[in-house]
Structure 1
Amino acid sequence: MDVRIGIQNSPRELGFEAAQTAAEVEQAVTAALSGQSPSLRLSDEKGTVYVIPGAALAYVEIGSEESRRVGFVA
C-alpha cells in the first residue's frame, strides 16, 4: 500500500510502500494524532521502520492496496 507522509517544517514528503493494511495505518495515525502514542511507527515491505513524532505530522495520504499493473492493457 502506498503511503505518503508530510512532516512539518520539511520541504519533502516521505513516501513508501507500507507492509500494513490501510486500516492498520489509519489506526496508527489516529493514535499518534490523538496523543495515545507519542510517535507514528510504520514499516515498509523491505523491513525498513519509519518513526515520526506525532507532533510533527502535517498530513498522511493512504493510497490503494491494489498492486500496480505492468504492461499494456488490452
Structure 2
Amino acid sequence: MNETTERNDIPVLAWLWEPATAVRDACYAAALAAYDAAAADGLCHEGALECALAAMRRVDVAAVVTRALAEADTS
C-alpha cells in the first residue's frame, strides 16, 4: 500500500486505514449480533436497535486498534 490511499477521492494515510476499518468492522459485528439477539428475545425493532447501539458503545476501541496495528506490522 502506498503512503496514501485514495478512497472516494479523499486521501487517507495508509497507516490509518487498517485500524479505522477494523474499528468499523468491530462496531458493525457487535451491533449486528446484539440486534439479532435482542430480536430473538422478542424485543421490538426500536428495542433491538437500542441494544445494537449499546453494543457499539461497548466495543473496546483501544484493543481493536492495537490488534489492527500489530497485524499491520507483521504483514
Higher relative contact order (CA 8 A, sep 6+): 1
- Larger CA Rg, structure 1 vs 2: 2
TM-score range, shorter chain: under 0.3
**Larger fraction in helix:** 2
What TM-score, normalized by structure 1, do the two folds share? 0.26
TM-score under structure 2 length normalisation = 0.26
